[in-house]
């Protein structure tokens, strides 16, 4: 069982609706990554955090996506206005040390935008 907890497992939204998903990183892990895996198995890095601070994010994330990792609360990724192309598996991962890539993914949130 993954030590990174993602909720919900499935999310169905209409176009234009907000879609919000959450991630609880593994205990004691300050670094969090979000990725998108589309139906063609293309993985796209979205954003990463160290504690509450954004380390880096891609342009897509800056425009319609928002994310945060508040202290003592789950991290979250929210799409402000969902589009059909956002339908994908959203994966969260955490790491103990910044720069380490041997992280474990959560079970993911599968988003369907209809």
Query: What number of chain residues touch other proteins (CB under 8 A)?
Result: 27
Binding mask 76-95 for other proteins (x = CB under 8 A): -------------x-x---x
Closest distance between other proteins and the C-beta of residue 87, in Å? Answer: 15
Kindly state the tokens that stand for 113: 């935008």
Residue ranges in 42-61 that form contacts with other proteins under rule CB under 8 A: 42-43, 45, 48, 55-56
Nearer to other proteins, 18 or 108 (CB): 108
Indicate the SS3 state at residue 63.
Answer: helix
Interface residue with other proteins among 14, 41, 71, 85 (CB under 8 A) is 41
Nearer to other proteins, 14 or 59 (CB): 59
Q: Which residues pair with 34 in a beta bridge?
A: 47, 92
Tally of CB atoms within 10 A around 43:
11
Closest distance between other proteins and the C-beta of residue 39, in Å? Answer: 11
Using a 10 angstrom Cβ sphere, with 0-12 exposed, 13-18 middle and 19 or more buried, the burial of residue 53 is exposed
How far is 7 from 63, CA to CA, in rounded Å?
A: 23
- As a residue count, the chain comes to 114
Using the rule CB under 8 A, is 98 a contact of other proteins?
A: yes
């Amino acid at each position: 069982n993954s030590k990174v907890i993602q909720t919900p497992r499935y999310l169905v939204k209409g176009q234009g609706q907000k879609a919000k998903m959450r991630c609880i990183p593994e205990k004691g892990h300050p670094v969090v990554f979000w990725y998108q895996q589309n139906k063609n198995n293309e993985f796209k890095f979205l954003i990463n955090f160290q504690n509450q601070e954004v380390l880096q994010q891609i342009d897509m994330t800056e425009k319609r996506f928002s994310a945060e990792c508040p202290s003592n609360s789950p991290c979250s990724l929210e799409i402000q206005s969902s589009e059909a192309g956002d339908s994908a598996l959203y994966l969260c991962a955490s790491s103990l040390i910044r720069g380490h890539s041997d992280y474990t993914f959560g079970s993911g949130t599968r988003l369907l935008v209809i």
